[in-house]
Amino acid sequence: MHKGGDNNIVKTRTGVLRWDQESKILFVDVDEGARETLKDAISNNKLAVEITQNTCFGMLIDITKIGNIDAEARNFYATNTNTKSLGVAMLTNSVISRVLGNFFIGINKPIRSVKLFADKVKATEWLQQLIADNPTSPNANRTSAGQVINAS
């Protein structure tokens, strides 16, 4: 693991995590041909908790270049409750990455919202809406009395 100078960027064995404090989105760029194991998943999860300072967040994972992810790692990500991730947007641009994403959603049945996107802007907008709709999020739409309001 290598942390960037501002501690908002972390290089892992399989990619790079970049925390955007303002938007409350953790961007994950998976390395070309990365093959993720359960050990990687556990380590990446621990780093996500640290880099987000255990706050509620959305996660955008660019899986366009992924090689493979072990069944144990997929199951860990699907059932893990250690982070305060409100939802995961998976960015795909190929048949392989879309198949992996759909396989993860269909077989592993993640406990949080997961959606596939081909467009990073749309993925980010979806995550921003999840964050805004979450009553425990500091970015939630609230009245002056602190009540959550409908953002539509």
User: Structure pTM?
Assistant: 0.81
pLDDT digits 0-9 by tens, 88-142: 999 998 877 778 787 788 877 888 889 999 999 999 999 999 999 987 755 544 3
The C-alpha torsion from 144 through 23 and 7 to 1, rounded to 10°, is 130
Task: Give domain 2-133's CATH architecture.
Answer: 2-Layer Sandwich (3.30)
Distance CA 5, CA 121 (A): 27
pLDDT digits 0-9 by tens, 19-71: 999 999 999 999 999 999 999 999 999 999 999 998 999 999 999 998 888 99
Which residue stretches of 25-117 are H helix?
38-51, 71-79, 95-108
Strands 25-30 and 9-11: unpaired
